[in-house]
């Protein structure tokens, strides 16, 4: 079974479970002794629904969800925004690191130039060891 099918199955069971809970809430909020049979039936559906969801859980045991996604859901936010914001943070961090790398390359180049002025023989040896051609 493909991962998408596993998620579709879980989604279907969750939707049925939520609808059953909604109907159960309606029955309980306006409970009449005559609605006891319907209440018992909905409770049985709830137990069956939980068992179905548990079966889906076993199929998806190898999938991990970051806790931050649940925080987004608890805050009433779309969990897909989590992915978008993660990508935006990663891109920003990537730009920051790229800037640091460029700065370090410039620093290395300037340091080698200045060291070559002060220690020309030592820097020639260093460049020879590194396999770099000394400047003419």
Total domains, the chain: 2
Q: Would the pTM of this model clear 0.85, i.e. be above it?
A: no
- Enter the DSSP assignment of 133: P
| Structural domain for 9, as ranges | 1-63
CA distance 58 to 66: 18
Same domain, 75 and 90: yes
Same domain, 95 and 124: yes
Same domain, 59 and 83: no
- Enter the DSSP assignment of 35: G
- Enter the DSSP assignment of 9: H
Question: What mean pLDDT value characterizes the chain?
Answer: 88
Same domain, 70 and 132: yes
**Residue range 105-130, pLDDT digits in tens:** 999 999 999 999 999 999 999 989 98
Categorize the per-residue pLDDT at 32 as very low, low, confident or very high, splitting at 50, 70 and 90.
Answer: confident
Cβ atoms 27, 36 nearer than 8 A: no
CA distance 113 to 123: 9
Categorize the per-residue pLDDT at 57 as very low, low, confident or very high, splitting at 50, 70 and 90.
Answer: confident
CA distance 80 to 68: 11
User: In whole angstroms, how far apart are CA 90 and each of 15, 55, 96, 99?
Assistant: 33, 35, 10, 14
End-to-end alpha carbon distance in the chain: 66
Same domain, 48 and 71: no
Same domain, 132 and 70: yes
């Amino acid at each position: 079974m493909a991962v998408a099918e596993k998620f579709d199955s879980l989604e279907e069971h969750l939707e049925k479970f939520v609808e059953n809970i909604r109907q159960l809430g309606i029955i309980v909020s306006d409970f009449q002794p005559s609605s006891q049979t319907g209440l018992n039936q909905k409770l049985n559906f709830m137990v069956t629904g939980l068992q179905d969801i548990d079966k889906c859980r076993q199929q998806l045991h190898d999938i991990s969800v970051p806790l931050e996604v649940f925080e987004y859901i608890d805050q009433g936010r779309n969990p897909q925004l989590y992915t978008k914001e993660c990508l935006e943070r990663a891109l920003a961090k990537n730009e920051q690191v790229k800037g640091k790398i460029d700065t370090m390359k410039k620093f290395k180049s300037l340091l080698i130039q200045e060291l070559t002025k002060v220690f020309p023989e030592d820097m020639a040896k260093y460049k020879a060891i590194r396999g770099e051609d000394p400047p003419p």
